[in-house]
Amino acid sequence: MKPISTPNAPAAIGPYSQAIDLGDTIFTSGIIPVVPATGEIAGDTVEEQTEQALTNLKHLLEDAGSSIEHVVKTTVFIKDMNDFGKINEIYAKYFTGTLPARSCVEVARLPKDVKLEIEAIAIKKN
């Protein structure tokens, strides 16, 4: 088991790793829409925040030896289920072909009061 750390995704804001490499599998922590270079939340809209969170996820997976195309499962935590359709529009730009399994859960509150958080399980590239 090896922790993954990259400056291309938001730094952990607590006692956890950005991701864990477990041989052929990468488990990410929840990824929020923070711009890694500034530490600021990316925009006020759910669309802007979804785009940033997925970009962060993409960079984290690539730095861990995987990719968006190798994601087998995601969990999306959203602040407002009414944003489900808007999130899906952005999500569909990142995930194409064989789509990963997914859960989507509305929650009362997320870190830094963002509108969504995404975690993923991916296999490494061969």
Inter-helix orientation angle 84-94/46-63, to 10°: 30
Catalytic residues: 104
Q: Is 112 left (phi over 0), alpha (psi -120 to 50) or beta?
A: left
Q: Biggest alpha carbon distance in the chain?
A: 39
d(CA 20, CA 104): 22
| Residue 64, CA distances (Å) to 3, 80, 121 in order | 9, 31, 12
Q: Collapsing DSSP states into helix, strand and coil, what is residue 86? A: helix
